[in-house]
Amino acid sequence: MADMNKKIPYKIYLTEDEMPKQWYNLRADMKNKPAPLLNPGTLKPLTAEELAPIFCDELIAQELDDTTAYFDIPEEIFEYYKTYRPAPLMRAYNLEKALGTPAKIYYKFEGNNTSGSHKLNSALAQAYYAKKQGLKGVTTETGAGQWGTALSMACAYFDLDCKVYMVKVSYEQKPFRREVMKTYGASVTPSPSTTTAIGRKILEDHPGTTGSLGCAISEAVEVATTQEGYRYVLGSVLNQVLLHQSIIGLEAKAALDKYEITPDIIIGCAGGGSNLGGLIAPFMGEKLRGEKDYRIIAVEPASCPSFTRGKFAYDFCDTGMICPLAKMYTLGSGFIPSPNHAGGLRFHGMSSTLSQLYHDGLMEAVSVEQTSVFEAAEQFARTEGILPAPESSHAIRAAIDEALKCKESGEEKTILFGLTGTGYFDMVAYEKFHDGEMSDYIPTDEDLAAGFAGIPKFPGNEI
Ligand SMILES: *Cc1c(COP(=O)(O)O)cnc(C)c1O
């Protein structure tokens, strides 16, 4: 068996010619389509016309299209993809050995670009379509900073203005992230800020708040809809983002196919769901079409447990309640994770597509506590060499746990997980872990009830 294994290299690369030339739209193969975005005023599905002041036109078309299976990747985007893709598919031989597991572990590594994450895959697409529409610039929010960095890079490449609202706690804890964004020409404002009406209101209602992604989204949307020539772009959650991120799964599958490897278990961390949705896309497509079966596991923090403890309901995507309503697993748009939560993945909701798949029993979800996530991160760094992002380390935790189960049962399962990025800008969190100052705050049912109370009530949306 060991000899068979050795035939598979540590890194499986595709050539440029073997790279996927199209994105895959998972929704095309779903029988139960994700519920449409609703206009919060009328509670009717949003039309392209209504979305036009917020998003770029071509991105709206992608957002609303749940029947076209494949979209050509425009040449201009593909050219930039080639500077950092294909991303390697790695065989975690060293981790397997350290664990003493018969499981075979593979990971798709998306951290090989300056943003340090998979987010550049969608940032490039979104900046490209904004430029093509003749816009001046785009606005966005960023939490840990990877999305803001990715978008800054993409805007620099396509010569667009980039205004980033950065969750205040991250702005203060991650000054280097901020400066990287400025290096690429973006303006960066800590959120909530006094530069927007919604920011001023949030500050009035919650003085001293350290911010949340939801607040920052509200601010970025307000600026995009009130300044001419700007649109809002979002780095996760939306269908269009999952579409762009399908490049992750398509490449991973092409690399596995080269060696006739079929994963049994596919694991990804879930914040808003974009890397997971992208990684699983072609595999879930096979599952939906009845061609193959896989176990698919979403991993989320126990401190922000949208899938495992949230409600499946229409909710706002932002704290300011100005964004469309999306049907998703949610903790309520007013939910703000405990400030000692250092591992990212702090969004209150989840992609509608993944929510529907989870609701239909096509995938599983687990929640993990942050100290165990950092233990896994450290074990991974020491064996595989890559310093993982805390977000990615949620997937590492679950992959190790599955591999350890194989050790007990003696099963030689093949595990694929998404290693979404690197953790160089997360050393404050690592420091807390090393100094024993990290705790595992898990919200109580009462904490969650307060968030659920903010979910809008209307007929058909009972929780
Ligand atoms: C943003 C981010 C995530 C989580 O976002 P998803 O949309 O759920 O993929 C995970 N890992 C890294 C490194 C990130 O930057």
Residues in the ligand 1 pocket, defined by CB under 6 Å: 117, 119, 146-147, 236, 269-276, 345, 389, 391-392, 420-421
Query: Using CA atoms, how far apart are residues 308 and 329, in angstroms rounded to an integer?
Result: 9
Residue 14: CB partners within 8 Å, gap ≥ 6? 86, 251, 254, 255, 258
Query: Using CA atoms, how far apart are residues 162 and 140, in angstroms rounded to an integer?
Result: 8
State residue 10's pLDDT score: 96
Query: Using CA atoms, how far apart are residues 426 and 409, in angstroms rounded to an integer?
Result: 36
CA of 63 to the centre of ligand 1 (A): 19
245: pLDDT strictly greater than 50 = yes
Lowest mean pLDDT among 197-206, 208-217, 394-403: 208-217
Query: Is the CA virtual torsion 353, 356, 358, 362 positive or negative?
Result: negative
State residue 257's pLDDT score: 97
Taking only the tens place, the pLDDT of each residue in 260-285 is 999 999 999 999 999 999 999 999 99
Mean pLDDT of 68-81: 98
Query: Relative to the CA of 273, which ligand 1 atom is closest?
Result: 8
The per-residue DSSP string of 222-240 comes to HHHHHSTTEEE--SSSSHH
* Residue nearest atom 4 in ligand 1 by C-alpha distance: 271
Of the pLDDT bands very low, low, confident and very high (cuts 50, 70, 90), residue 342 is confident
Candidate from 167, 181, 237, 269 with most ligand 1 atoms within 8 A of CB, to mutate: 269
Of the pLDDT bands very low, low, confident and very high (cuts 50, 70, 90), residue 2 is very low
Query: Relative to the CA of 277, which ligand 1 atom is closest?
Result: 9
Taking only the tens place, the pLDDT of each residue in 285-340 is 999 999 999 999 999 999 999 999 999 999 998 777 778 899 999 999 888 888 77
Query: Using CA atoms, how far apart are residues 166 and 210, in angstroms rounded to an integer?
Result: 11
State residue 6's pLDDT score: 52
Query: Relative to the CA of 116, which ligand 1 atom is closest?
Result: 13
State residue 4's pLDDT score: 52
CA of 241 to the centre of ligand 1 (A): 12
Taking only the tens place, the pLDDT of each residue in 287-301 is 999 999 999 999 999
CA of 390 to the centre of ligand 1 (A): 10
| Residue 364 near residue 297, CB atoms below 8 Å | yes
Query: Does the model's pTM come out above 0.85?
Result: yes
State residue 337's pLDDT score: 82
CA of 259 to the centre of ligand 1 (A): 28
Taking only the tens place, the pLDDT of each residue in 155-210 is 999 999 999 999 998 899 888 999 999 999 999 999 999 999 999 999 999 999 98
* Residue nearest atom 7 in ligand 1 by C-alpha distance: 274
CA of 83 to the centre of ligand 1 (A): 21
Mean pLDDT of 49-56: 95
State residue 317's pLDDT score: 86
Mean pLDDT of 399-405: 98
Query: Relative to the CA of 271, which ligand 1 atom is closest?
Result: 8
Whose tokens are 């080639």? That residue is: 82
* 211 vs 78, more confident: 78
Of the pLDDT bands very low, low, confident and very high (cuts 50, 70, 90), residue 153 is very high
Q: Where are the beta strands (DSSP E) in 97-218?
A: 104-109, 137-142, 161-167, 187-191
| Percent of all residues in the chain with a pLDDT value above 70, rounded to a whole number | 99
CA of 418 to the centre of ligand 1 (A): 10
CA of 119 to the centre of ligand 1 (A): 7
CA of 345 to the centre of ligand 1 (A): 7
What six digits make up the tokens of 230?
């700007």
1: pLDDT strictly greater than 50 = no
